[in-house]
Chain A
């Protein structure tokens, strides 16, 4: 895809970030002036396990082109095992999407600790690039008159 076209499409990516890790990493990336794209719309949650997966697809239907769930690394969840439960839920929602012929890569699960500012910036950049390449999501056209 040529550069001009990529410029045209600015994806919207909703990030549900755990307060204890990924949100802190986002702050750190900010203070360190590490660049990450404006496409990311962060929402602070208390743990990756507090996000019902229906909220991920609700964001996709409302207009997001992708969603990220960011939690603490395995073993590091502030509430001991919330991230393991979150991983099951993400596996379930991705499987449902794939099963019905949707692009399941529009949901991303990442473990990013509070000290991983650079990883945060890298993941946000790479994911934005990936979603740009894919183009707008058609999930947002569910129950609408638009789309193909």
Chain B
């Protein structure tokens, strides 16, 4: 029903010539992909609200606009986390937002892509639970502790409200969205999403307290012990957008054999490769301040390492340090900015007795 509503919305937007293209999920045999369509006749192939998030949709928009802004009026249907990713990537000049309208919705969460492959579940099932303010036990860890599971004012253009109303409502998130809905002849509606947010934030608080990886060397080594160093987590991460990654340029970690032998002497033996843990710490240092919390790193891990515990919790510490919330407002990402007066605690020798 909700997907029907959205498909009708899209068809009518085509008819009214408000859009010339749509990007939204579409089913494949065992999953859901993103699809780009340009004709009204193709709208029925779309599943705007899908139970699986195979990729981050903002990453797809990055690909489309990488060389040039969108040449057609494009409507993109994104989950709240993807909409925040979109905003964050615009700040990093990775997406040109011109000509793009974003519609986002009250999100019931998504199922791990592999679990979905093994056991199909419909989006309606997840939505029915959400309407009772219950998070399905089948959704991914990151969805369970999502800080912003609903559309945010100023992030994206149009909201689609499902919670707490019999009939879904549309509402605007930006001026562009307001204009769009007016031209659609849709009256803006209201709904109350506080409870849904509260449930997630309570989960999140508990998770932040309990799931931290502690203990320095031993803690992180144990956590990553089965890591294959495949870098899938990085490839799936929408914030890791660099064309040339520090950790893929292997010359940074090229050493002469003597060095390896000396380390083996000094460290009672070494594990090879030697850059595995450093890769993750380096990624945290480079992008942790902007980790959006989509959890796609964890979904991409072939070894089922609960990576979101690492990126989400350390990312949260980093974001607290700069009072920064990626993708929720217009603040400049911490790695692109500085203040003359700040962070003095990080300068100089520790005080005596500390």
Contacts and interface: CB of A to CB of B under 8 A. Distances in A.
Interface string B298-317: 00000000000000011001
Contact of B216 (A90, A108, A139, A143): A139
B282 interface: yes
A63 to B, nearest CB: 6
B338 A102 contact: no
A143 B274 contact: yes
Main secondary structure of the interface of A (DSSP, over half): helix
Contacts of B63: none
A84 B338 contact: yes
Contacts of A146: 266-269
Interface stretch (B2-10, B38-46, B342-350): B342-350
A109 B268 contact: no
A38 to B, nearest CB: 18
Nearest to A98: B317
Interface string B275-292: 111100110111011000
- How big is chain B's contact interface, by range? 35 or more
Nearest to B271: A143
Nearest to B343: A91
A54 B268 contact: no
A52 B216 CA distance: 21
Contacts of A62: 263
A144 B220 CA distance: 13
Contact of A57 (B218, B274, B281): B281
B350 to A, nearest CB: 5
B335 A123 contact: no
B281 to A, nearest CB: 6
B350 A109 contact: no
B98 interface: no
A126 B270 contact: no
Interface in B11-42: none
B228 interface: no
Given A63-B263, A144-B263, A145-B271, A96 B285 contact: yes
B246 A52 contact: yes
Contacts of B269: 144-146
B240 to A, nearest CB: 14
Interface in A4-49: none
A8 B349 CA distance: 23
B288 A144 contact: no
Contacts of B271: 143-145
11 contacts: A61-B278, A62-B263, A84-B339, A87-B346, A89-B335, A92-B335, A110-B349, A142-B217, A143-B277, A144-B263, A144-B271
The 8 closest A-B pairs by CB, nearest first: A145-B269, A146-B268, A144-B267, A84-B338, A146-B267, A54-B282, A101-B216, A91-B346
